[in-house]
Chains A and B, each alone.
Chain A
Amino acid sequence: MSELRWHPLLGEWVATATHRQARTHLPPADFCPLCPTKPGGFPTEVPEATYDIVVFENRFPSLKADPPAPDVEATELYPVRPGQGVCEVVLYSPRHTSTLAAEPVEQIYKLVQVWTDRFRELGALPFVDYVFAFENKGEAIGVTLHHPHGQIYAYPFTPPRVARELEQSRAHNDKTGRCLLCDIVAEERRDGRRVVSENESFIAYIPFFARYPYEVHISSRRHLQALTDMSVEEQRDLAALLKAVLVAFDKLFNLSFPYMMVLHQRPTDGQSYDYYHFHIEFYPPLRTATKLKYLAGSETGAGMFINDTLAEEKAAELRGHFEEVVWRKPS
């Protein structure tokens, strides 16, 4: 069953979703459930012979628009609420062996438009306070379906990581009158050593405070809070810089680079978040071509990350793998 249980020590919700344990396992390797359904073939999640980009509700969601009542009784110490929300899967391409890095920049621009549409549509739902788009890529992250795809969770609350960023951004704004991320971008551009690439609208850098060796952040150069605030040119620039970063990642160790990619936008709860700033964060688990950065005792139990590398050195390393992004059709 699915429900939200309150964690009184941390002051945050934990989702239980026991039905996810029963997720079906795929017998033969070529029966990918995310590929189009071939004529006469087995029925996949997509009942048509081809597609461009597809979004669908996750078959095994941890949050549902119409959730069942919680199975357990709430107490004063342990509040419980229904697991209300939406969990979507976003199929980037019908090509099974592709990745987002391998897709043309035009396809990534389409994805940016789809993300924008999902932010607008899901954010308008009365029970959704936060729309969170993300991708888990690679077996090192625990992914077992290699078909290129991401996910979107529409939460009934602002999740704790984002809430903490909001608090920090608001405190900085109260103190200085400026946007925290605008100041971070200015500082990274002034220093320059950690910047890996930039274009007219976005900048990619491994921040001074990176917790992972190749923790690239992509921030808008203009102060804006969400995909829906962007112009067409900015969305195209975002696609181009995403493509450049993803290709550089793959070239770094000449392998399909695993990562978590998350989009941080403003909440959709109707409040004003003018002090916040849109950005994308990558958390790649590799620290070398063959070694993983594990989240061990200090990171998981204490919340303090130990980065065995210097952002300045890793940025210089990654910077050497950027190449020009070419559009098939100029804008």
Chain B
Amino acid sequence: MENERQARDEEAASEMHKRRITLDDGRYLIFYTFDGDDSSAVPQSTSASSQVEPQAAPSAEEERSV
């Protein structure tokens, strides 16, 4: 059971890839990508949540970072 779970986890882990870069100010940034993925370019899902109005666009007063 444990071995099966570990094998599945390893299989899943192999589907995720990390690419780490260093920004100009020395901070790191990691791009995560996934094998066989076709969802990132697809607009949001058709569930009921798509009926919800998006929140208002940020105003000029908003912070640049978090």
Contact = CB atoms under 8 A, between A and B. Distances in A.
Interface in A128-167: 138-139, 144-146, 149, 151
Contacts of A243: 47
B27 A56 contact: yes
B29 A52 contact: no
A154 to B, nearest CB: 13
Contact of B12 (A45, A50, A232, A325): A232
Contact of A24 (B28, B58, B60, B64): B64
Contacts of B39: 104, 106-107, 328
A58 B60 CA distance: 21
A3 B61 CA distance: 28
Interface string A213-248: 000000000000000000111010000000100110
Interface of B is mostly: loop
Contacts, number: 170
A132 to B, nearest CB: 15
Interface string B25-63: 101111111100111111111011111111111111111
Interface of A: 23-30, 32-34, 45-48, 50-60, 89, 93-95, 97-99, 101-107, 110, 113-114, 117, 138-139, 144-146, 149, 151, 231-233, 235, 243, 246-247, 250-251, 254-256, 321, 323, 325-326, 328
10 contacts: A26-B60, A45-B23, A48-B31, A55-B29, A56-B29, A101-B52, A145-B58, A145-B63, A232-B11, A247-B47
